[in-house]
Chain A
Amino acid sequence: MEAAIAGIGATEFSKESGRSELRLAAEAVLAALADAGLDPSDVDGMVTFTQDSNQEISVAKEIGAGDLTFFSRVHYGGGAACGTVMHAAMAVATGMADTVVCYRAFNERSGRRFGQPDARLGGEPSSQGLEMSWHVPYGLMTPAAWVAMFAQRYMHTTGATSEDFGRVAVAMRRHASTNPAAWFHQRPITLAEHQESRWIVEPLHLLDCCQESDGAVAVVVTTAERARDLRQAPALITAAAQGAGAGQMMMTSYYRDGMDGLPEISVVGRRLWEMSGLGPSDIQTAILYDHFTPFVLMQLEELGFCGRGEARSYIQDGGIELGGRLPVNPHGGQLGEAYIHGMNGIAEAVRQVRGSSVNQVPGVHNVLVTAGTGVPTSGLILSAA
Chain B
Amino acid sequence: MTSDELLELADKQIAMGELRGSPSDDPVNAPMIRHWLDAMGNRNPLFLDKGLAPPSMAQVWTMSGVKRGKDPSPVDDLLKALDAHGYTGVVATNCEHTYHRYVRVGERLTPGTRFTSLAGPKKTAMGEGYFATWNVTWYDEDSEPVAEMMFRVLKFRPRVRREPYPLKPAVNRDTAFFWEGVRQGELRIQRCSSCGSLRHPPGPVCPSCHSTEQGYVVACGEGTVYSYVVHHHPPVPGKETPFVVAVVELPEGVRIVGNIVDCPVEAVGIGMSLRVTYRPMDDELILPMWAPRET
Q: A122-B168, A133-B169, A254-B247 are in contact. Are A139 and B259 (CB under 8 A)?
A: yes
From residue 229 to 256 of chain B, which have CB atoms closer than 8 A to chain A? 229-239, 242-243, 245, 247, 254-256
Smallest Cβ-Cβ distance to B240: which chain A residue: A139
Taking residues whose C-beta sits less than 8 angstroms from the other chain, chain B's interface range is 35 or more
Q: A156-B270, A201-B229, A254-B247 are in contact. Are A140 and B234 (CB under 8 A)?
A: no
CA distance A115 to B236 in the complex (A): 11
Q: A139-B243, A142-B234, A199-B233 are in contact. Are A152 and B228 (CB under 8 A)?
A: yes
From residue 252 to 267 of chain B, which have CB atoms closer than 8 A to chain A? 254-259
- Say whether A139 contacts B238, CB under 8 Å: yes
Q: Which residues of B contact A149 (CB under 8 A)?
A: 227-229, 245, 247
CA distance A116 to B207 in the complex (A): 34
Instruction: Identify which of B175, B234, B245, B270 contacts A138 (C-beta below 8 A).
Output: B245
Interface of B is mostly: loop
Q: How far is the CB of B198 from chain A (nearest CB, A)?
A: 12
- Say whether B247 contacts A199, CB under 8 Å: no
Q: Which residues of A contact B175 (CB under 8 A)?
A: 130, 133
CA distance A256 to B111 in the complex (A): 77
Instruction: Identify which of A132, A137, A201 contacts B232 (C-beta below 8 A).
Output: A201
Smallest Cβ-Cβ distance to A135: which chain B residue: B257
Interface check B125, CB cutoff 8 A: no
Q: Which residues of A contact B232 (CB under 8 A)?
A: 198-202
Per-residue interface assignment for chain A, residues 125 to 169, with 1 indicating a CB less than 8 Å from any chain B CB and 0 otherwise? 110011111111111111001001110110010000000000000
Interface check B17, CB cutoff 8 A: no
Most buried by A among B239, B257, B285: B257
Interface check A192, CB cutoff 8 A: no
Q: How far is the CB of B263 from chain A (nearest CB, A)?
A: 15
- Say whether B227 contacts A259, CB under 8 Å: yes
Q: Which residues of A contact B254 (CB under 8 A)?
A: 255
CA distance A235 to B281 in the complex (A): 55
Q: Which residues of B contact A148 (CB under 8 A)?
A: 229
Interface check B72, CB cutoff 8 A: no
Q: A131-B201, A133-B175 are in contact. Are A145 and B169 (CB under 8 A)?
A: no
Interface check A324, CB cutoff 8 A: no
- Say whether A119 contacts B229, CB under 8 Å: no
Q: A198-B232, A254-B257, A255-B254 are in contact. Are A122 and B169 (CB under 8 A)?
A: yes
Q: How far is the CB of A143 from chain B (nearest CB, A)?
A: 11
Taking residues whose C-beta sits less than 8 angstroms from the other chain, chain A's interface range is 35 or more
Interface check B172, CB cutoff 8 A: yes
Interface check B86, CB cutoff 8 A: no
Interface check A124, CB cutoff 8 A: yes
Q: A139-B231, A140-B245 are in contact. Are A122 and B226 (CB under 8 A)?
A: no
Interface check A123, CB cutoff 8 A: yes
Interface check B293, CB cutoff 8 A: no
- Say whether A133 contacts B170, CB under 8 Å: yes
Interface check B166, CB cutoff 8 A: yes
Interface check A117, CB cutoff 8 A: yes
- Say whether B257 contacts A200, CB under 8 Å: no
- Say whether A137 contacts B169, CB under 8 Å: yes
- Say whether B234 contacts A254, CB under 8 Å: no
Smallest Cβ-Cβ distance to B241: which chain A residue: A139
Interface check B174, CB cutoff 8 A: yes
Q: A138-B245, A156-B270, A201-B233 are in contact. Are A130 and B257 (CB under 8 A)?
A: no
Q: Which residues of B contact A125 (CB under 8 A)?
A: 170-172
Smallest Cβ-Cβ distance to A154: which chain B residue: B227
CA distance A125 to B257 in the complex (A): 19
Interface check B192, CB cutoff 8 A: no
- Say whether B255 contacts A254, CB under 8 Å: yes
The list of the 5 closest CB pairs from A to B, nearest first, reads: A133-B169, A202-B230, A153-B227, A139-B239, A148-B229
| Chain A interfacial positions (CB closer than 8 Å to B) | 115-117, 119, 122-126, 129-142, 145, 148-150, 152-153, 156, 198-203, 252, 254-255, 259
